[in-house]
Structure 1
């Protein structure tokens, strides 16, 4: 393993290869098409292919074929070994030097937790998630949502669906993610991206190391057809998020440490739900 460490660090030393690695880490456990990565980072397809080949040669990224597409994901086993080597060898296993590594076995505090859901427009999917969590487990969680490029208004199909489901839509508005990065912003225990595009983007570093997850849901606003067909797309997105949030709220957070909670969050992201069929 030690023989590979210099190659892996050298591979990650290139800015654009590091950007690919960081994007795939944000999208974990998703498998992402090369074209989507290239578009998100503004890299030519031929250049992206070369960068991915080097990342695979360093065993940091895995490739899998799906039909005619090649999908890429983080090789988490290798990444964990790399980080573990740096911690044990370079930091000598000292938590006072490498503090981020000392928090994984600490239990979650027994209190009401703050949860932020992020998408691009903050007009449907993240609004769904905020509303569902507030209604189903508002006694245990404070629910928030934001967008990386928020829309000027909430999607009318989404608002009608939430109203029909008995949610209070008077408290909802489209918000920029910057609202939650200032000194007076809430301290977040959990941050979830619910659309692939938001996860592909650079988001602010959240203080306090919240548990993070990617629960990508296809954008219902892109649905075509008549109003009934469009409304069906919003119903599917709502049901998928409600199911994932149900799995999340069923976790006994007070009895689990951060590593166990993070693993559970990732497993929920892997769920073979309707929107991934």
Structure 2
């Protein structure tokens, strides 16, 4: 096994650790690790990422459900349009995009290039969200209200983005739950993890019919990520999550810029 491949599996552990430490963000690492360390095709990488993110998030979601932190009504209102959007994106939109799109001079714009550049843009947006991190905690006894149309629209948008890039979209879901459903931050994070888990796994079902899945690799990679989330939860007792989140945001920012550079300057 080559060093770069070993680093890829270490990265699987890191994905879970970050999720356990800051409640999100780890999934943004999955596609770069699968593409650049383990040399997977971007379409396959985004598919595998959905499974890894879904399985790992589900572990955290179950833990939150046992604590009564998941708001199921909000999750259902948000998740149903997101589920539909992510499944349709993976099952029909991604396979329908031609491998080669158009040529600019001598430079061929391909489906893989567009997916990775779009992913890099999402990474940059996620990094800004983590670096700024100015959300205020709401009181736990605030009455939960629902802006149904906006929640449904947000669900469709997040589902489509998740389907394209294979990331959970927590940086989009959590603000939506806080602003549109008026959830307290802790409940928003817990509910977001539940939505991400189910949405990602349903999105992956859209790929099962189109791709040959290497289950041995995928399950072993996911198992390492799940071990990582338990390690991250334990480390959370000793590390300031807010400072870590900002530092991780800068790391994601650098990674996003690196992907843009690597894809455009070959």
- TM bin (shorter chain): under 0.3
Give the number of the structure whose residues are more often helix, by fraction: 2
Q: TM-score, normalised by structure 2?
A: 0.26
Q: TM-score, normalised by structure 1?
A: 0.25
Of the two, which has the highest radius of gyration? 1
